Structure 1
Amino acid sequence: MQTARLALVLPFALAASLSAQATDAPPPSVSVLHCAHLVDTAAGKLLGETTLVVEGNRIKEIHAGTVDTKTYSDAATARGANFSYRNFTRGTCLPGLIDAHTHLTSETSPTGFTDQFRWNIADYAIRSTVYAKRTLLAGFTTVRNLGDTANESIALRNAINAGLVPGPRIFTAGQAIGTTGGHADPTDGYRQDLAGDPGPKQSIINSPEDAWKAIRQHYKDGVDVIKIMPSGGVLDESASVDNAQMTIEEIKAIVAAAHDYGYTVAAHAHGAEAIRRAVLGGVDSIEHGTFMNDEDMKLMKEHGTWYVPTIIAGKYVQAMAEKTGYYPPQVAAKARQVGPLIQATAGRAYKAGVKIAFGTDAAVYPHGQNAKEFEYMVQAGMPPMFVLQAATTHAAELLHKQDQLGQIAVGRVADVIAVPGNPIEDITVMQHVEFVMKDGVVYSDKD
């Protein structure tokens, strides 16, 4: 009888304890941010003096000009809340940036092709925490992670979400999906007894049926998006950078399965035929698109397909290809093909009216240099405001998070960065982020 009584009492006692803890929780902190300028990414305008009031993890108020900070300070103190004030007298505030194409669990290195035989997955995972922090401090509060080795980016995402390590908000694809011998095949270049025959569980497919198995495995693994490899690529040890490596039927099966499970599909595609198949197959975005032709651009406009150029990656691999021994010979040869073309392709796609979202292929170049892409996009003929929108409102739309991310607005999550000067006049200031707030928490403040 006593045991039964305890069984009834304990849940109520626990509920009372939790209620008391909730009552005792401190009120959310209040921050007032005064900005000399504010980029209104939704309207595509540069505003003058603007003050943001952040409470907890949300934007609570936005005021033109200045406010009486003492009023907010006194109110916060009266409630027992922490108060902070920052005045960016020469700075411009923007929403936290979004990089729609990263690989946070690896980084370029001349020993990268041999490290995979010496390092454990734990080595990559630990290093990923460094790369994640570096990315966040560069002003990128959200990323789409498009491929890893063994789902280690899922663990990284979970650790960041739990507050264990600092880093951007991650939407991860886990392992990229490809075909035998294709750009996603992790055993390309291995000797025969090590190569084996990876299958759908390892993200390698060779039929529409395999495609469904691979997507269902990704769902089981807990990914956020899907990444496929319908064309050759630069940094694998196969011969072609642009040949088509998936059939339309395989791509359609991947897209159908992915959309069933609520995923968007990003397609790594350098070659024109691979791009055509991917667009007709229903993918949501084309990544890189180096050899994209006029027909591809027309199809992308008709289908509403996004384009993520990754100009910085092309330029970086071209430069490294000239360093003897940095890449295997066949990789260096492909890098010399892609590097000189990718920026001009991005410029043509912009002029053709293709939808463009910001992405860099971080890891192909050192993490933290993501904002160099803004400069390259402007050089390609895109206006400064457009490239800022590409990394905010456009990328948020690509992620289907336009109601949450990509702009500073009352009620939105408090992702705010500040740069010195005016990025509309000088886009290179985006490479010198002085303040980073993600989800209401300040991670960098150099002012």
Structure 2
Amino acid sequence: MKRVLATFCLAIFSSILIQAQTNIKAIKAGKLIDVVSGKILENQIILIDSSKIVSIGSNISIPEKAEIIDLSHATVLPGLIDCHTHLTFQPGENYYDDLFRKKANDYTIQATVNAKKTLDAGFTMVRDAGSDQLIDISLRDAINKAIIPGPRMLVSTFALGSTGGHVDLTGFNPNLDFKGNKDFTGVADGITEITKRVRNNIKWGADWIKFMASGGVLSEEETPGLPQYSFEEMKAICDEAHRWGKKAMAHAHGTEAIKMAIKAGVSSIEHGSLIDDEGINLMKQYGVYLVADKMIFALWKK
């Protein structure tokens, strides 16, 4: 009986060991860019257990059941990081035609395509800077569960903005109501509304809080340089985000809006188009990063 039990336990242990080994991958890299030393290393082996790199070197023993990925003809580098994406969006021929005609389902399908394209381009982490309908949260979670391929995502879902500002559809017939569920939007004014919006975003799963410190170039109000929140409102956003252990980013083109957002407590400025020397010095003083992302407007005909 003891011999049977021992044999049974050994079989289980062997099965577990084989299963564990099948989760191991070994990448044979012809060349490897070592970003720590700044050197290009040759004939390296990268050993991965599940989703973690456990060892890198030229004299590593590869487990018998490991999956081998032969990149001996290629140069391998660490995954790239894009700090400002909108994976749920896709430029079309007419920005407003897309805005009014496309449904959440359309953007969701496009988001899965964009996620795979981004991963295939070498980006293994992105910070997504705004989305409607909580699509970015569902996309992030599906990637984390290995349901679909894509980069790891830090998401911000609804970007906060003032009434008449960059996130509020402006310049149309006032009898048309674009907001739908008034709680399912980023439009907020005053400290009380702003605080609730921040809390809602975090409740729904936001990793970052984004707000529009200034106008933008894809909205009818056409004041990309002017501040669209007061300093007190910007500070309320940052303070509430920090209270929940989150960081805030500010979309800001104009000089004054940039400076206000920095002093209010943001961790990054998005765009920063008209930043001046004083703004740059403030960023250094407060430890704020500039994410100077650009866009190809030729993708939109109108």
- The bucket for the TM-score relative to the shorter chain is 0.7 to 0.9
Residue 36 (structure 2) pairs with residue 49 (structure 1): no
- Partner SS for 1:49: strand
Superposed displacement of residue 158, structure 1:
1.2
Superposed displacement of residue 60, structure 1:
2.3
Residue 202 (structure 2) pairs with residue 219 (structure 1): yes
- Partner SS for 1:213: helix
- Partner SS for 1:39: strand
- Of the three residues 148, 169, 172, the one matched with 1:190 is 172
- Of the three residues 88, 104, 109, the one matched with 2:72 is 88
> For residues 12-161 of structure 1, what are the structure 2 equivalents within 5 Å?
25-27=19-21, 28-36=23-31, 38-43=32-37, 45-56=38-49, 57-63=51-57, 66-67=58-59, 71-72=61-62, 76-77=63-64, 81-89=65-73, 91-161=74-144
Change (3 A) 1:20 1:274: farther
Superposed displacement of residue 151, structure 1:
1.0
Larger helix proportion of the pair:
1
Q: What's 1:260 paired with?
A: 243
Change (3 A) 1:167 1:85: closer
Q: CA RMSD in A?
A: 2.3
Change (3 A) 1:200 1:276: farther
Superposed displacement of residue 86, structure 1:
1.6
- Partner SS for 1:192: coil
- Read off the aligned partner of 2:215 and give its amino acid letter: G
Task: Tell me the alpha carbon deviations over residues 391-412 of structure 1, each in whole angstroms, 9 at most, x when there is no partner.
Answer: xxxxxxxxxxxxxxxxxxxxxx
Q: What's 1:429 paired with?
A: none
- Of the three residues 216, 222, 227, the one matched with 1:244 is 227
- Read off the aligned partner of 1:87 and give its amino acid letter: L
Give the conservation status (yes or no) of the 8 Å contact 1:200–1:213: no
Superposed displacement of residue 34, structure 1:
2.1
Task: Tell me the alpha carbon deviations over residues 104-148 of structure 1, each in whole angstroms, 9 at most, x when there is no partner.
Answer: 011111133112322221111111101111111000011001101
Change (3 A) 1:118 1:32: closer
Normalising by structure 1, what TM-score?
0.60
- Partner SS for 1:205: coil
Change (3 A) 1:178 1:20: farther
- Partner SS for 1:127: helix
- Read off the aligned partner of 2:256 and give its amino acid letter: E
Task: Tell me the alpha carbon deviations over residues 185-236 of structure 1, each in whole angstroms, 9 at most, x when there is no partner.
Answer: 2x22432122467856511111112121111101111111111111010111
Give the conservation status (yes or no) of the 8 Å contact 1:105–1:128: yes
Give the conservation status (yes or no) of the 8 Å contact 2:248–2:268: yes
Task: Tell me the alpha carbon deviations over residues 333-370 of structure 1, each in whole angstroms, 9 at most, x when there is no partner.
Answer: xxxxxxxxxxxxxxxxxxxxxxxxxxxxxxxxxxxxxx
Change (3 A) 1:208 1:199: farther
Superposed displacement of residue 93, structure 1:
1.9
Give the conservation status (yes or no) of the 8 Å contact 1:180–1:206: yes
Change (3 A) 1:22 1:179: farther
Q: What's 2:158 paired with?
A: 175
- Partner SS for 2:176: helix
Change (3 A) 1:22 1:184: farther
**Which runs of 5 or more residues in structure 1 are unaligned?**
1-18, 328-447
- Partner SS for 1:179: coil
Change (3 A) 1:88 1:200: same
Q: Give the distance between the partners of 2:113 and 2:93, measured in 1 at CA.
A: 19
Task: Tell me the alpha carbon deviations over residues 295-341 of structure 1, each in whole angstroms, 9 at most, x when there is no partner.
Answer: 10011110000000113x1xx22x458xxxx12xxxxxxxxxxxxxx
Give the conservation status (yes or no) of the 8 Å contact 2:47–2:56: no
Change (3 A) 1:85 1:166: closer
- Report how many aligned residue pairs link the two structures: 287
Normalising by structure 2, what TM-score?
0.87
Residue 214 (structure 2) pairs with residue 231 (structure 1): yes
Superposed displacement of residue 85, structure 1:
4.0
Change (3 A) 1:200 1:84: same
**Which runs of 5 or more residues in structure 2 are unaligned?**
1-12
Task: Tell me the alpha carbon deviations over residues 398-429 of structure 1, each in whole angstroms, 9 at most, x when there is no partner.
Answer: xxxxxxxxxxxxxxxxxxxxxxxxxxxxxxxx
Residue 269 (structure 2) pairs with residue 286 (structure 1): yes
Q: Give the distance between the partners of 1:20 and 1:146, measured in 2 at CA.
A: 47
- Read off the aligned partner of 1:59 and give its amino acid letter: I
Q: Give the distance between the partners of 2:258 and 2:154, measured in 1 at CA.
A: 23
More RCO (CA 8 Å, sep 6+): 1
- Read off the aligned partner of 1:287 and give its amino acid letter: E
Change (3 A) 1:20 1:194: farther
